[in-house]
């Protein structure tokens, strides 16, 4: 009996030690009725453009556009980030920021007009570019050198005016409830010559 208890104690201590230092920073669900972007205070849609940072202390910071998440990182640094996530444009699954492939084109319509969408792998990103006839493939490292300019044509107003809008008009930036597939087609076809 003592031998079994000693072995069990060793196993429990070993398991506890393995768990320490390996904190998991899993993405949290998006709740459209309450979640707002940590940068622009607009509603975060539970869709392909949502991004998220889980801080080392377990807080979830949600963003309506990859550009807003980048702005937060520029203003706050990366020391407090446990993990950062983007969504796959096709199936909306969460992907670690560093592992995703990105496509940029000013004609891609995103909530805050940064024109960047994310994919779980390079193959999916390349298929998107081929289908749309536009886009530049970028890695997470290459995004660090990206200019992060908002497309004024896509926003329809300057940054100052947009930031003063109430969150109630944010749906207009997302297409006023148009279906996701219809929205994808409309967004890219409007500027497919780029």
Does this model's pTM top 0.75? My answer is no
Residues 7-20: tens digit of each pLDDT: 655 655 555 444 55
pLDDT of residue 148: 87
The average confidence (pLDDT) of the chain is 78
CA 100 to chain centre: 10
Bridge-based pairing of strands 101-104 and 116-119 is: antiparallel
pLDDT at 167 over 50: no
| Rg (the chain; Cα; Å) | 20
Strand, helix or coil at 142?
A: helix
106 pLDDT band, cuts 50/70/90, is: very high
Distances (CA, A) of 32 to 11, 14, 29, 42, 50: 43, 41, 10, 10, 11
Residues 107-148: tens digit of each pLDDT: 999 999 999 999 999 999 999 999 999 999 999 999 988 888
pLDDT of residue 10: 64
């Amino acid at each position: 009996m003592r031998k079994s208890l000693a072995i069990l104690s060793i196993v429990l201590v070993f398991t506890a030690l393995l768990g320490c230092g390996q904190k998991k920073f899993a993405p949290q669900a998006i709740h459209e009725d309450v979640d707002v972007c940590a940068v622009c205070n607009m509603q975060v849609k539970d869709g392909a453009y949502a991004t998220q940072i889980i801080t080392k202390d377990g807080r979830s910071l949600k963003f309506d556009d990859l550009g807003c998440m980048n702005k937060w990182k520029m203003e706050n640094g990366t020391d407090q980030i446990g993990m950062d996530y983007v969504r796959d444009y096709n199936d909306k699954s969460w992907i670690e920021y560093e592992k995703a492939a990105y496509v940029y084109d000013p004609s891609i319509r995103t909530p805050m007009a940064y024109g960047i969408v994310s994919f779980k792998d390079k193959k999916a990103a390349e298929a998107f570019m081929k289908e749309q006839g536009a886009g530049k493939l970028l890695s997470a490292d290459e995004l660090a050198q990206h200019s992060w300019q908002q497309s004024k044509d896509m926003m329809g107003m300057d940054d100052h005016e947009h930031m003063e809008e109430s969150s109630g008009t944010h749906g207009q930036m997302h297409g006023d409830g148009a279906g996701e597939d219809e929205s994808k087609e409309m967004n890219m076809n409007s500027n497919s010559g780029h």
